[in-house]
Amino acid sequence: MKKRTTICVIGLGYIGLPTAALLANRGYDVHGVDVVQSTVDTINQGNIHIVEPELDTFVRSAVNSGHLKADTKPKEADVFIVAVPTPFHDGFVPNTDYVIAATKAIAPYVKEGNIVILESTSPVGTTDTVNDVLKQSGVDASKIHVAHCPERVLPGHIMRELVENDRIVGGITPEATEATAAFYETFVRGKVLQTDAKTAEMAKLTENSYRDVNIAFANELSVLCDKFDIDVWELIALANRHPRVNILQPGAGVGGHCIAVDPWFIVHAGGEDAKIIRTAREVNNYKTQWVIEKIKNTALNFEQQNGQKAKVACMGLAFKPDIDDLRESPALYIARQLKEAGVTLLVAEPNITAHDEFEIVQDSDAIEQADIVVFLVAHKEFRGIRIFGKEVVDFCGVLKQ
């Protein structure tokens, strides 16, 4: 097979930039594309616009070697990788506009023998849509390879997992599957598993829906335990001593670009047949609303007992521990709703220095100045904190760690 040496990556976010930097450090010439000029400028200076361990070293090395360059427009390449967001509209309707726009953008540069890979997590059938858009744009789809290879990495461990994790490759044709799998095998140490495009799309949605369902079970337990005056953390620890039970830890809801979004893609397409997946999404969304009401009631009780409004410290804004990612974050949503309700907030988030909506204060300052301390995210900086003379509400179990 022809050696493919040039890569064009569309979307330089949490997946696209690590992928581009990794490939560039493996000797590929990588042309990264992003619609945000400041992102392009930052990368071309050898810097990063997102926080991810080791990513800064990879990007700096890739740029300094000349193997990674960023621009706002695509260029010809052997392999095109689309890694753009796939959010949803109101009503949880999948939005593939970014994927379609990216496909149209690369169409003038796609030529015979090229591989076009959709890495964006997408509703079933989106890879077929990419193929159709390329056809409509004048590309002879019979002479290229279009496939889906969903990302499946954990924020905070992306650079390692891009290499070590197994990957699923599903092409529009068997030939596309084989060609795309051969490309991933040049840099992935995990197994590269071959299937068709729709199965690959559904596999990623299934993985995240599975996790969402299990988190929903833990979150529902936490609500029930609050009603029964039971320590949910002790309960789960005891139940997990059963050799075939492994209950996850509850939290303030579910966030991020995957678990909080992907199950809706199945629900939208599956309708009434997606009963458990829909219910899990509703349970996890309800848990966030439940947390908001719990905090508001705690603040109201303080005001009634002390004759003054409570200062509430919200500890954490990220969607999960030890990262700076705020996408679909229940903690951020909770803080916004509390602010809108007139609650006086002190916001601590050790992984970011500033936010457009909130003044970010030091952890110790937030705790010292607050009347009520609310833990929303189990960041490592919060573990082992001892608090005296304050009312503490721990929704993420960080004080149990």
CA gap 150, 298 in Å, rounded: 43
**Sequence-ordered alpha helix ranges (H) in 240-394:** 262-270, 275-306, 330-340, 363-369
- Torsion angle (degrees, nearest 10) of CA 101, 103, 107, 113: 170
* Cβ–Cβ under 8 Å, residues 71 and 104: no
Taking each helix axis from N to C end, the angle separating 275-306 and 330-340, rounded to the nearest 10 degrees, works out to 40
DSSP state of 371: S
Identify whether the C-beta of residue 38 lies closer than 8 Å to the C-beta of residue 74. no
In 110-153, which ranges are E strands? Answer: 115-118, 145-148
Q: Where are the alpha helices (DSSP H) in 185-274?
A: 197-228, 232-239, 262-270
Annotated active-site residue 111? The verdict is no
Beta bridge pairs of residue 395: none
Instruction: Choose, from 3, 69, 104, 204, the residue flagged as catalytic.
Output: 204
Start-to-end CA span in the chain (Å): 52
Q: C-alpha distances in angstroms, 291 versus 62, 249, 310?
A: 44, 15, 17
Nearest-CA neighbor of 2 among 75, 60, 91, 78? Answer: 78
Instruction: Check: CB of residue 66 under 8 Å from CB of residue 6.
Output: no
Q: Looking at this protein, which amino acid is placed at residue 228?
A: F
State how far the Cα of 66 lies from the Cα of 373, in Å rounded to an integer: 49
Tokens at residue 213, please?
């369902």
Q: Angle 279-285-286 (CA atoms, 0-180°, nearest 5)?
A: 85
> Has 204 been annotated as catalytic?
yes
Whether the CB-CB separation of 7 and 20 falls below 8 Å is answered with yes
Rounded Cα distance, 119 and 134, in Å:
16
Q: What is the dihedral of CA 186, 192, 198, 199, to 10 degrees?
A: 180
Report the candidate in 7, 67, 13, 72 with the shortest Cα–Cα distance to residue 41: 72
**Catalytic one among 149, 258, 314, 396?**
258
Q: Which residues are catalytic?
A: 204, 258
